[in-house]
Amino acid sequence: MQSYTVQPARSVRGEIRVPGDKSISHRSIMFGSIANGVTKVSGFLRGEDALATLEAFRAMGVQIDDDGETVTIVGKGLHGLEEPTDVLDCGNSGTSMRLLTGLLAGQSFFSVLSGDKYLRARPMKRVVGPLSRMGARIGGRAGGEKAPLAIQGSQLKGIEYDSPVSSAQVKSAIMLAGLYAEGETVVREPHLSRDHSERMLRAFGANVETFPGGVKVRGGAELTGRDIVVPGDISSAAFFMVAASIVPGAELLIKGVGVNPTRTGIIDILKGMGADLELLNERDETGEPVADIRVRHAQLKAMAISGEVVPRAIDEFPAICVAAALAEGTTVVSGAEELRVKETDRITAMADNLRRAGVTVVETPDGMEITGVPALKACAADSFGDHRIAMSMMVAGLVAQGETTISDVDCIATSFPGFRELLEGVVQR
């Protein structure tokens, strides 16, 4: 496991592009594979997570070609996938496993999903439970709570499901099963989670209807392949947005970032903390809003973070924690218990790392309280095998008083290959 040492930065300046959106990349492969005709994807994220999804569909007989610029998917239609001859390896990708569980539940064959040790420890009952109510036959460790998951495809029936958590993975898994179910499937959630599945499925021709608080899917509609442009991932841009906010004299322009309103919680939170951030050149690309984001250094102030903004920023909280560590006052995060079931328990992981850097952090069951400091101490940080923890602590190291070493940074490749090089390219020392 490789470690990485970060030196303090004098400034952060430049113009960059971040890799394609991970959520949209996953879905482009999935939906293109079960559509009729050809789907061409540009801007596809070639990180380990999205590639795990790509390889899973190749293993089910889908022709997928990648020339380095465009990924071309020759779809097999709603019922054209083939039974895989081996276990489908989802690697570290919770999106792959949870969405595939929903999609595979309605097939006419048997399949098994597994992944690395971190993924096999993550909770799966949140999708297995509602899918079982639809008639899915799914077995797994701990009563279906943990992978590997064994799925015997079966005839599904639509249900109405009130999700106790706002989770795009849970919602999307049920929606994908709903494509194969008899009748209508309805999913409601406490707050709106990211809506990439709804947008893209509609573009492919699925019978999907959104309403305040939820989504309806009617089974049986055939999908048609189409061209997709994947915007830059705001979750990846978040690390640079925070870096430019906390490093004195910084100014960054991040081009072509997806600013879907269900994903812009990071922007709302940073602006609420006093960040100097603006959206430029706002536009629409294949159904997704896109903009360039300019960020300059500013003194941040603490704030309370709760409610509907939490699911809109759920993947960005490790980076937000770093911003809070340098903000004046105490930032209080609540309603974010979902962070405890990510690649690692991100509340405990960030609390542990920030304490090492000299920050006072109090954990709560659904969040944390972070009291900002003028400067961070150099420390040995632990990624806990979580890509977002690793990248967040690399950003924190830019404003530490001395060298910060982060363990096990290989995990960054799951979502952001080239992150270190891109970061070092804009750092001035």
- Whether residue 108 is annotated as binding a ligand: the answer is no
> How high is the pLDDT of residue 285?
86
pLDDT digits (tens, 9 = 90+) for 73-89: 999 999 999 999 999 99
pLDDT digits (tens, 9 = 90+) for 340-382: 989 999 999 999 999 999 999 999 999 999 999 999 999 999 9
Integer Cα distance of 146 and 352 in angstroms:
26
Q: Is the model more confident about 286 or about 4?
A: 4
- Report pTM: 0.91
- Whether residue 167 is annotated as binding a ligand: the answer is yes
- Whether residue 388 is annotated as binding a ligand: the answer is yes
- Whether residue 392 is annotated as binding a ligand: the answer is no
Cβ within 8 Å of residue 252, ≥6 positions away: 12, 13, 14, 15, 16, 240, 241, 243, 244, 294, 295, 426
- Whether residue 126 is annotated as binding a ligand: the answer is no
350: burial class by Cβ within 10 Å (0-12, 13-18, 19+)? buried
- Whether residue 22 is annotated as binding a ligand: the answer is yes
pLDDT digits (tens, 9 = 90+) for 147-193: 999 999 999 999 999 999 999 999 999 999 999 999 999 999 999 99
From the list 89, 315, 382, 386, the catalytic residue is: 315
Determine whether 268 is an active site residue: no
- 84 phi/psi in degrees, rounded to 5: -70, 145
> How high is the pLDDT of residue 347?
98
Integer Cα distance of 343 and 85 in angstroms:
28
pLDDT digits (tens, 9 = 90+) for 324-343: 999 999 999 999 999 998 99
Average pLDDT taken over every residue of the chain: 97
- Whether residue 14 is annotated as binding a ligand: the answer is no
69: burial class by Cβ within 10 Å (0-12, 13-18, 19+)? exposed
- Whether residue 86 is annotated as binding a ligand: the answer is no
pLDDT digits (tens, 9 = 90+) for 392-406: 999 999 999 999 999
- Whether residue 193 is annotated as binding a ligand: the answer is no
| Cα diameter, the chain | 61
- Whether residue 40 is annotated as binding a ligand: the answer is no
> How high is the pLDDT of residue 286?
80
Average pLDDT of span 289-317: 97
- Whether residue 27 is annotated as binding a ligand: the answer is yes
Integer Cα distance of 94 and 26 in angstroms:
11
Partners of 139 in the beta sheet? 150
pLDDT digits (tens, 9 = 90+) for 243-265: 999 999 999 999 999 999 999 99
Give the CA distances from residue 280 to residues 24, 239, 294, 412, 426, in Å, rounded to whole numbers and listed in that order: 22, 19, 7, 28, 20
Q: Per-residue pLDDT for 136 more than 90?
A: yes
Average pLDDT of span 316-320: 98
pLDDT digits (tens, 9 = 90+) for 12-60: 999 999 999 999 999 999 999 999 999 999 999 999 999 999 999 999 9
Q: Per-residue pLDDT for 1 more than 90?
A: no
Task: Write out the two tokens for 123.
Answer: 């909770």
Q: Per-residue pLDDT for 307 more than 90?
A: yes
